[in-house]
Every structure is written in structure tokens, then in C-alpha cells.
Structure 1
Amino acid sequence: MSSEVQAAGTKLPPAYPPRTPPPSKKPIEPPRPQPDTKPTTAVGLPSPRMTVRNRRTVGLTYRADQWAPGKAAAQAVETVRGWGYPRLDEADLQAAVRALTGAAVADGGKRISIHLADQDRKVLVVVLAHVPGVAEDTTVLETVVALRTVDSCTVDAAPDGRRLAVLLDAEPGTPRTRPTVA
């Protein structure tokens, strides 16, 4: 009879159940708990995080070796050149990036991060040395502040390492409109 039904085009269910895969030997790992606290400063206040919004930004990462300052300076100049600042003093930008990157490499970490941003004819360069606990050494600022187009520079110790920053005027000599005080 089964051959008659199969000949008609209908299949009969098998006489045994289909094979199911064996259960896994490892139990499924539950999700790991996330910390409820954010990094805090010595006084217990939340540590400030650096945010750059509403402007062009580029992040560059390098291995902290002796060639990093040269590579970082060349790539920073190329990046900012693409932003269209014809009066940018590229020598000052290159010198500032070299000095800050050299100081970050001297901190002894494995990598450094360079963040470039622009707004209102200014170029911000922030170099992060990813070595927690490094003291704020301001000797590099003496070199950077001597550059002609530097508006300001700073260094601070963050929980994730030392941050070195410089703000350069991308169009020196242009008149600026300053807010008037009434």
C-alpha cells in the first residue's frame, strides 16, 4: 500500500523522529554586569570627558615610537590643508604637532591619539598619551607658545592619560569681529 501512495506523489512521514542536534556542552554565558559608576576624580566628582561637536574632526592613532611625531605632523598638515585654509601657517602646525606628539611619546605608552578639529578660522590639535597617572609636565608648552599663530595651549592629566592641546589661528592677520560689551 505504501508503494501505491508514494506512486501517487504523496510522501508518508518517516517511521522514526527526525534527528535533533545534541545540546551544547557549555552553558550559555549570561551578560556581564556593567559598572554603574563613571570614572571620578580624587574629590569624587565625575571626571570631564572631552567632546568636540558641530565641526570637522579627524582622529589619528599612531604607535608611540620615534617616528610618530614626523608621521603625525605630515598627516595633520595634509588633513588641515584639505579643509581649505590658504593662509594657514603649515610650518607652525607641523611644529606644534611634532612638539606635542614628541611629549606624548616620551610618556612611555604604546600608542598616541591625535584629534584635529576646526571652527571659526581656528584649528584645534589635541594629543592624547594613553598612559594613566602621568604628571602634568608643562615644559613642552614653552616650545609651542613661541609659535606665531598659536592662540592658546594647555596640558592636563585625565584618567585615560595626559592631554596636550594647542589652538592655532588658521587665517592669521584677518580682522576678527569681537563682541561688543554694552
Structure 2
Amino acid sequence: MTTPATDHTPDYPPRTPPPPKRPVSPPRPETAGPSEDLAEGRMPARSGRRGVGMVNRRGANWVLESAPWAAGKARVAVVGQLQKWGYLPTTGTVTAVEAVVTLLVDAATTDPGTRITVHLSDQDGQACILALSHSTTLTSGHEDGGDDVLHRITAHPAVTGCGTDTGTDGRRTWAVVGLRPG
């Protein structure tokens, strides 16, 4: 005699689904919001700053020892690269580029650290020159007394813009210089 199917209990456990092939990633850590960071003088945590990057333009960079002679090497390298790219700037523009490179590199070498990098890119008759100090122990801010590097950079008429910021990879100071006679 057979028993009805409802009275029979299975002899094996029910089938369970297999585990996922990739483990679920843990949630991202909570970071301070952009407004909190800016109030404290830091770059926003969600800004995505990942070092120096250039897109759709020519660029060159040089790694230099953080030493007093670094500005001289950077001046020669930047002016030489601009000439290789076909810019034949006037004497006044060359003087401005050399002065701006000196100010940027000197500011980077005053930060603690053993190396700096100088980055150069060009677009539409302008050159962007950037010096990165690679010092991770900095806080953002300017020099006391109001005579900071940005004021000295903007004193040159060929400069169309400049700025600075400090992040986990060091302090970046940059300037945009017009290469065409105005």
C-alpha cells in the first residue's frame, strides 16, 4: 500500500542557491561633504582629484630634485619645449615664462620633500605651467603678509590665470601664460 504524497517528508535538505561568484563589495567609507571640506580649507573629498592629468593637448613634464638649482633647469626645459612645439615668442614673453617658472618652482621647493615635478601643456596659443611639490604634510593656505606667490605671478602681463591647491599628493601651483603677442 502507498502513502499519500502529503504525508511523506523528504530524506534530504532542500536545495539552496549557490553562493555568488564575486563577494559583495563593502560599502564605501563615509567622507566629509564638499561644503565641510571647503570650510576647513581642503579640497572637496568627492572632487576626484587624482594627480595631474591632461586631455586632448600636448604635454611634457620633468621630475626634479627639490633644490635651489631646480628653477634654472625647469626654465631651460620649459622654454626649450615651447620652442620645439613651434612657438617663437617675443623677448617679453620669454622673460615672463622664465619668471613664472622660477616663481612656481621656487614655491614648490620651499615645501618639505625631496622632489618636485614641473608640467607643461599648450592649447590655443597659451601654455599652462604647473609645479607640484609632492609633499604630503601640507595644509592649504597662503603665505602671511599678502605677498604670496599668486600675487607675484599675476604681476606679469602675459599671465592670463593662476591658482594653487593642496591635496594628498602635495601642493599644485599653476599659471597660464599667453604666448601670442596681444
Aligned to 2:83: 81
SS of equivalent to 1:75: helix
Aligned pairs for 1:47-126 (under 5 A) are: 47-49=48-50, 50-88=52-90, 89-126=93-130
Distance 2:27 2:47 in 1: 9
Alpha-carbon RMSD across the aligned residues, in angstroms, is 2.4
1:106-155 superposed Cα distances (whole Å, 9 cap, x missing partner): 00210000000001111000110000131334411111100110000000
Aligned to 1:16: none
Unpaired runs of at least 5, structure 2: 1-25, 34-44, 143-147
- TM-score with structure 2 setting the length: 0.69
1:67-119 superposed Cα distances (whole Å, 9 cap, x missing partner): 00111111111111111122351111110010010010000210000000001
Greater CA drift, 103-112 or 128-137:
128-137
Greater CA drift, 126-135 or 97-106:
126-135
Aligned to 1:7: none
Aligned to 1:170: 179
Taking structure 1 as reference, are residues 83 and 154 closer, same or farther at Cα in structure 2, changes over 3 Å only? same
Aligned to 1:24: none
Taking structure 1 as reference, are residues 37 and 60 closer, same or farther at Cα in structure 2, changes over 3 Å only? farther
Taking structure 1 as reference, are residues 42 and 70 closer, same or farther at Cα in structure 2, changes over 3 Å only? farther
> Does the Cα contact within 8 Å between 1:133 and 1:157 map onto a contact in 2?
no
- TM-score with structure 1 setting the length: 0.69
> Does the Cα contact within 8 Å between 1:128 and 1:161 map onto a contact in 2?
yes
Aligned to 1:26: none
Distance 1:92 1:37 in 2: 50
Taking structure 1 as reference, are residues 140 and 42 closer, same or farther at Cα in structure 2, changes over 3 Å only? farther
Q: How many residues align?
A: 138
Percent identity, aligned pairs only? 31
Aligned pairs for 1:125-164 (under 5 A) are: 125-138=129-142, 139-164=148-173
The amino acid of 1:106's aligned partner reads T
When Rg is computed on C-alpha atoms for both structures, the one with the higher figure is 1
SS of equivalent to 2:166: strand
Taking structure 1 as reference, are residues 159 and 78 closer, same or farther at Cα in structure 2, changes over 3 Å only? same
